[in-house]
Structure 1
C-alpha cells in the first residue's frame, strides 16, 4: 500500500509568494491574479485558491516573504554601516528584483492597512539597526560623536532609497550610488 504524499504547506505558500514577486517585479501588481500566479508557479489555480482565497491574502503573504529575503541579504556576515547601506541598493539581480517588488507594493501599502503596517514596522526595525550601526561607528571614532544617531539613520535611509530608485531607473550606476554613500559617510566623520 502506497503511503500518502507528505505535503509541505509552508513550501507551497513560499512557491506561490515567489511567483507573486516575479510577476510584480516584471509587470507590476496589476498583473497579479490567481490565474497568473498559478501559471507562473506551474500549479493549478485551484491549488493557489486552496492556500489563498483572495488576491489580497496572497499579496499580504508575499510582503512577509519579501521582508524575509531583504533581511537575509542584509544580515549576511553581520554588516557594518557602509556594507548594510550598500546591501540595500539594487546592485545585483536579487536585490534589483526585491526593490522592484517593494516599489510595486508601496501604493498598495498606502491602501491596505496590513501591508502598510508591515512596511512601517520594517522601516522602524531597519532604522533602529542603522542607528545602532551609527553608534558603533561613533564608538570606533569613524563618525562624529556629536551627531544624533536616529536622524542620521533617517537621512542615510532616505539617501539609499533615492539612490535605489535612481539605480533602478538607470539615472545612476551601482558604482555611482556606492560612491555617493561613501561621500555621505565621509561627511559624518569627526572633524
Structure 2
C-alpha cells in the first residue's frame, strides 16, 4: 500500500477489499480482520475509517454502485454520434453487467441486493442508485420517443422503470447460468425494438377486424 494515502483513498482501498472478499465468500464472509488483511492495513486503520461493519458495507456498496453508474454515464457522453436508442441499449447492457470482465462485480452486486432485503442501511443507497439510473433511462427513452414519433403513446418513466427492472433481473439469470450473456443481450434488444414498435402498431387498425355494420 502507498505510504501516503488520504482518508478517502484509504476508504476506497478498504471498499475494494470488501468487494474482493464478498466475491469470494459472500457478505457473510466479510470480517473486519479479513478486510484489513486483504487491504494490507491494520485493524485500527479500518476502524478509524469505519466505526462499524455496517458503515463499511454501506460505503462499499456506494463505491461499486458509483462505478456502475459512471460507466452508464460514460456511454451517454461517449456516444454523441449514436442514436439515443443505440445509446440506451448500450447503457442497459452496462447495468446488466453482462460482460465477462464484470462477472465478479455482478456477484458482489447481487450479494448486496440480497442483504439489502433485510438491511435498510443498504436498501437506502440501493434505491438512490436505481433512481439515478432510471432518470438517465427516462431521458433517453423520451429522446427516442420523440425521434420515432411515439411520444404521444409512450410513458418514458414507466418504460424506463420496466427497462431497468429487466436489465437488473438479467444479471441474476446470467450469473446462475439460466441464460448466456448473448441470450440476455438478445432479450434486451427484443424488448427495446418492441418498445418502439408497439405504439405504432397500436395506432393502426388490426388486420381482419370487421367494420361496424351499417344501420346500427
TM-score, L = length of structure 2: 0.79
Question: Contact 1:24–1:31 (CA<8 Å) still a contact in 2?
Answer: yes
| Separation of aligned partners in 2, 1:137 and 1:95 | 28
> 2:117 is paired with a residue of what secondary structure?
helix
* Structure 1 outlier segments of 4+, above 6 Å: none
Asked if residue 176 in structure 1 is aligned to residue 186 in structure 2, the reply is no
The equivalent of 1:154 in structure 2 is 161
The equivalent of 2:103 in structure 1 is 96
| Separation of aligned partners in 2, 1:21 and 1:105 | 10
Question: Contact 2:75–2:90 (CA<8 Å) still a contact in 1?
Answer: no
Judged with a 3 Å threshold, the aligned counterparts in structure 2 of structure 1 residues 84 and 177 are, in CA distance, closer, same or farther, namely: same
Judged with a 3 Å threshold, the aligned counterparts in structure 2 of structure 1 residues 141 and 67 are, in CA distance, closer, same or farther, namely: same
> 2:96 is paired with a residue of what secondary structure?
coil
Which digits, 9 at most, give the CA deviation of each residue in 1:20-44, with x for residues without a partner? 0111122110000001111211222
| Separation of aligned partners in 2, 1:24 and 1:177 | 24
| Separation of aligned partners in 1, 2:23 and 2:144 | 35
| Separation of aligned partners in 2, 1:17 and 1:88 | 20
The equivalent of 2:119 in structure 1 is 112
| Separation of aligned partners in 1, 2:152 and 2:172 | 31
- Offset of residue 71 of structure 1: 1.3
- Offset of residue 142 of structure 1: 7.4
The equivalent of 2:140 in structure 1 is 133
Q: How many residues align?
A: 187
- Offset of residue 90 of structure 1: 2.1
- Offset of residue 7 of structure 1: 3.7
| Separation of aligned partners in 2, 1:127 and 1:169 | 25
The equivalent of 2:82 in structure 1 is none
Asked if residue 87 in structure 1 is aligned to residue 94 in structure 2, the reply is yes
The equivalent of 1:48 in structure 2 is 46
TM-score, L = length of structure 1: 0.89
Which digits, 9 at most, give the CA deviation of each residue in 1:79-114, with x for residues without a partner? 621111111122224432222212111233233323
| Separation of aligned partners in 2, 1:93 and 1:20 | 20
Q: Which moved more, 1:82-91 or 1:26-35?
A: 82-91
Q: Which moved more, 1:13-22 or 1:78-87?
A: 78-87
The equivalent of 1:57 in structure 2 is 55
| Separation of aligned partners in 2, 1:110 and 1:166 | 19
The equivalent of 1:9 in structure 2 is 7
Q: Which moved more, 1:146-155 or 1:10-19?
A: 146-155
Larger radius of gyration: 2
The equivalent of 2:69 in structure 1 is 71
> 1:146 is paired with a residue of what secondary structure?
coil
Give RMSD over aligned pairs: 1.9
Structure 2 unaligned segments of length 5 or more: list them. Answer: 80-86, 201-216
